[in-house]
Amino acid sequence: MIKNKFKGFSVEELINNQDFINSVKQFSSKIEWQNFLIENPLNKYNIIQSKKIIELLSVQEEKLDIDRKRDLWSKILAKSNENKSHKHRILWFGNLYKAAAVITILLCLGVSLYTYIIKDHSEYKFSANINSSLRNTVLIMPSGKTVELNFIRSTVDVLKNKSAIRVNNDTIIKNDPVKAENEKENHLTEVVVPYGKTSVLTLSDGTRVWLNAGTRLAFPQSFKGKYRGVFLDGEGYFEVTKNAAKKFIVSSLHTSVEVFGTKFNLNDYSTDKKSKTTLLEGSVRLSEKNQIINNSVMLKPGQSGICNAKSGTISVQKESNLEKCTSWRNGWYEFDNTNIREVLIRLERYYNVSFRYDEKTIRKALPVSGKLDLKDSIDNVMSVISNVANIKYEINKNKIKITK
């Protein structure tokens, strides 16, 4: 084997390369596979993904009869024509049967190829939704027991090796024995932060997480297995404790963030069409979750990765002001030529209000730049916004109408 022979090859290129396919199929032991990775260290991540794809294709291809393969191929062509306007690429795996096999994996197994390759853990279904009726932050234990945290900014500390959680630096909540009929998936605990509230969480490994308004986080009492995994819906700022032997993975709706001991901010609300991951220190691998072959990028400090849910693409941009991306955890928002619509979305969540407006009014509004002190009332904040964006507003309790 020539060292770094497959340097720079993408996953698509590897699974179409006959030399690579032959190399993968000839491995008879884990030692040979490990030696192969050692020979090609500069493209290890794509090589591992490609090997699993080839193995899956081989298994599925053997199970299909010719009529089924033709039927699947027609579906591939139909999907290709349907997405031409979006310049959607259909992966070509060398022949008709292998292309059909990809679709078969999705149809027969009922999961995306990404799930098999990247995620060692299943998707998590949160127990509680965030809506206007939720007034306080809620802690939901694996047994189903719920505890309300009646603070604007609550704190949750997982007590290591004690099967208990301390809330607001005072109350100790023990994990009750879990009955089979009440057992929540994966034995995870949830913190559900409503609009208008925030929370700070310390996990069992010492990792700290700041949760913004309208956010849910699911986490284990202790991290067991090969990785440390949590699930996020919303916005969180993470300071992850380093542990080279046990990677930290944050899974959200659109992205999976593989962490190598670092500080970063992840904004991925299930109600939004894109996610944004901003790296302050360390290193993370950001992967898009909803494509047959996931896109992934390594972020450097001072960069943000923006995942577009519609196109399945990840764009990387340099951040000139990192403080702006995490200012919410210190009680203020900073905007830099930001569209008024995005400003209103963030204010809705933080202040638990609802904005009403027509598109024509919003399009005429000026972009917003500057800092907003979130300790101010929503009335004071809107007074500033109206002057900057050149809009008018009317407040009726928690409903705000934007007028011309």
- Looking at the predicted structure, is the pLDDT value of residue 392 above 90? yes
Residue partners of 324: CB distance under 8 A and separation at least 6? 334, 335, 336
More confident residue, 192 or 70: 192
Mean predicted confidence (pLDDT) in 198-212: 95
267-303 pLDDT per residue, tens: 999 888 889 999 999 999 998 876 545 578 899 999 9
Q: What is the pLDDT of residue 58?
A: 57
Measured CA to CA, the distance from residue 46 to residue 114 in angstroms comes to: 13
Global pTM?
0.69
**Checking DSSP bridges between strand 284-288 and strand 368-373, what pairing results, if any?**
unpaired
Mean pLDDT computed over every residue of the chain: 79
| Rounded Cα gap, residues 218 and 236, in angstroms | 12
φ, ψ for residue 317 (rounded to 5)?
A: -130, 150
Q: How far is CA 350 from CA 192, 195, 218, 227, 354, in A?
A: 14, 6, 21, 32, 11
Q: Average of pLDDT values for 339-352?
A: 92
In this predicted structure, the answer to whether residue 68 has a pLDDT above a threshold of 60 is no
How far is 193 from 349, CA to CA, in rounded Å? Answer: 10
CA torsion angle 149 154 157 162 (round to 10): -20
- Measured CA to CA, the distance from residue 157 to residue 43 in angstroms comes to 39
10: which strand partners?
none
With bands split at pLDDT 50, 70 and 90, how would you rate the model's confidence at 345? very high
Question: How many of the other CB atoms lie within 10 Å of CB of 171?
Answer: 10
Position 200 scores a pLDDT of: 96
Contacts by residues 20-29 (CB-CB < 8 Å, ≥ 24 positions apart) = 20/47, 20/50, 21/54, 24/50, 24/51, 24/54, 24/55, 25/54, 25/58
Dihedral over Cα of 309, 314, 315, 316: its sign: positive
Beta 284-288 vs 296-299: how paired, if at all?
antiparallel
Structural domains for the chain = 11-110 (no CATH), 137-320 (2.60.120.1440), 331-403 (3.55.50.30)
Residue 235: pLDDT over 80:
yes
C-alpha 241, offset from chain centre: 19
96 — pLDDT class (breaks 50, 70, 90): very low
Share of the chain above pLDDT 70, in %: 77
* Banded pLDDT at 236 (limits 50, 70, 90): very high
